Amino acid sequence: MRFQFYTLLLVLQLIHLPGWCQNLNTDSLENKLGYSYGQQKLELLHLLSEAYQNSHSKKSIEYAKQAIRLSLDLGDSLLTGESLQILGNSYLLTGNIVMADSSFKRAETHFYHQEAIHHLAGLKIDQAQVLVNQNNMDFAYQTVEEALPTIQKAGLITKELKALNILAGISYYRGNYDKALALTQNISELHLREGQLDRYAAVILNTGSIYQVKGSYVQALKHYQLGLDIADSVDAITYIIHAHELIGGLHAARNRFDQATAFYQTALDLSVENQLISKQIATLHNLGDLYSKSQAYSKADSILKAALYLSDSIGNELFLANGQSLRGANYHRWDQPVQAIAFLHRALAYFDKERISTHAVNTFSALAEAYYQLNDLGKAKEYGEQGLSLAKRIGHRKAEMQLRELLTHVYLGFEDLRLALKHQVLADKIEDSLFQAEQHIVIEEMNARFELDKREEEIGYLQNESELQQALVSRQQNQLIIIALSSTLLFLLLALLYRNYKQKVIANKKLQNALDDKEVLLKEVHHRVKNNLQVVATILRLQQRRSEDPEVLNVVQEMESRVDSIALIHEDLYKKEDVSQVNMQTYLDKLLNNNLHLHQTEHRISHSIDAPIKIPLDLAIPLALITNELTTNALKHAFPDSREGKIHVSLLEKNDSFMELTVEDNGIGMKEDDPKGESFGLEIVYTLTEQLKGHFQFSNNGNTVAKLRFKPFTV
């Protein structure tokens, strides 16, 4: 049951991050960076690199590299070592172990040169993390134990916590769960001593993960719920989301699809709302895999496709590998082995030989099954044996059983009865042990429910008896008290009514003033956003004029159109009395006019709008982008050779509480093999449709019709 070790390591890496890393205002830091120099600029680069480590890998790595160059210019070897150490951690969190190890070794050279003992001790902890990812557990454990006394003596709390987390992770990997639980107890006490309730919540969640791997689902759920409550009390959104993911995962493990979906969806909504891209990707992976296992293959593919798009946007190779693996596994379950093999091989390109991952095991397993389905026994054997070796290495018992069952059929195909029988016998043994563990879990849950019911019954009986005795004693006292209180209460009531009236008058006046101030501020915000977007659009136009490459001109024009579509919304809100609602009739008319002008087609293509509704800003923006992409698509492809035509856009509320956005043109129509169906613009449409939880489709009824149905909600 050690196959969740890799997941635990990612959680432990998240815990040891300094608290400020998860809440820094990166925009403010980036603004300061523009007018900072020397060591002050270097400190800002360090802060930005660490702040982006869990949200935007590309930016994190780039800022770390800038810091290295600046520290070399400053001639400070110690600062160069610190910059290299930060770069190593950035690579580590993307799963690029080779680059992480290289960066740490370069940092070590600088620290040795400066005889920086404390820096070297802290670096040893980071290098131990690399050893863990390379499955060199003994050396990693030894490295941490050697460095830990120096770190504790120097009072480096962050590094001490990371060290203890690594020791707990290795104990967990070795199956020494009691040791892992004891270490997590020490970690939680340190966090409490430092007043770090958010990371205390994370340790509680980790403890739940250990109990889940032990098969103690009741204890796991208790810790997940406790961790969620603590995280919620301090508004630690990262851990609130992670708690929902873990509870969803627990329900998924128990085959409770509806409960798992609900928790995953909550995690996804919170991730989107707080713009935590890494969390969005992880939750999309969980949701996609859940739908795939529930045979909703098309929906699973859409979800996993969106996750890959986000993973690529932040340059996280580990997420890309996992996403390709999950998408390949979905195609395999979908009975499409050729497509499955293509995605699974892409995933293997990301998995280096030293990386420990459940996804790597599953990738080999799905590849072997896909090749077996195509009757390629040689490839099925090759990938099956590789997957089996890795499954045994990380203790993934269920995967080992499935791979041995597959290899049984493969060796029967080769007529090697001896190896076929060997794999079948071992697969049966593993299945028996897993079944016994499952029965133990069921019995534990039944006992827990029985004990809970029994306690509730006892508590109810005691409460009833106590309440009866108290009622008899207090009855006589109440009769005397009521007489005295009634006269006093009448006087107090009159005084209170007058006081409340005065306070209400004052409060209403303050509230109206505050609302007026807020409206002014919001208008100013919309005005500034509109101005900034117009600056971006102007820069794009200037760039367009400097290029003669048709492909570059086309891309720049599309970007300009997208920027303008959002700027128009903020311009509309700035000029209107109601700053919370967008008048879609007016807005869509402006958007179409703008696009017609941009593509120089206003003289030959007309348009009409039917959108008599107002909607909030957070719903208007995705609809604006979708409408912009669809109308741009029509203007580019539907009316070739200076053909005249018409575009109609409607946004209407339907009787079934749905909204329906329709973009229709009377152009040449779309072919089934139309290549623009896979364009970047339509990729945006499909991604935003997922965000809106809607359904999007093209149809031809003489005209080309693009239709989006969704229930209005806050994005």
For residue 218, which amino acid is it? Answer: V
Number of C-beta neighbours around residue 699 at 10 A? 11
Cross-strand partners of 663: 649, 706
Q: The whole model's pTM is what?
A: 0.52
CA atoms within 13 Å, Cβ hemisphere of 133: 28
- Block mean pLDDT (10 aa), the chain, length 715: 41 43 65 86 89 81 92 90 89 81 89 82 84 76 86 83 85 78 86 84 88 80 90 89 92 88 93 89 93 92 93 83 89 89 86 59 87 90 89 78 88 81 82 61 51 49 47 49 50 53 56 51 52 58 62 68 67 59 87 84 90 86 87 87 91 85 88 56 84 87 88 62
Q: What is the dihedral of CA 658, 659, 665, 666, to 10 degrees?
A: 50
Helix, strand, coil percent content, the chain, rounded in steps of 5 = 80, 5, 15
β-strands 704-710, 605-610 pairing? unpaired
β-strands 605-610, 645-653 pairing? parallel
pLDDT of residue 300: 93
CA atoms within 13 Å, Cβ hemisphere of 92: 30
3-state secondary structure 624-665: HHHHHHHHHHHHHHCCCCCCCEEEEEEEEECCCCCEEEEEEE
Number of C-beta neighbours around residue 645 at 10 A? 18
pLDDT of residue 290: 93
pLDDT of residue 542: 57
Helix (H, G, I), strand (E, B) or coil at 601: coil
254: which residues sit within 8 A by CB, 6+ positions away? 217
Cross-strand partners of 660: 652, 709
713: which residues sit within 8 A by CB, 6+ positions away? 619, 692, 693
pLDDT of residue 281: 92
pLDDT of residue 553: 65
Distance (Å, whole) CA 112 – CA 115:
5
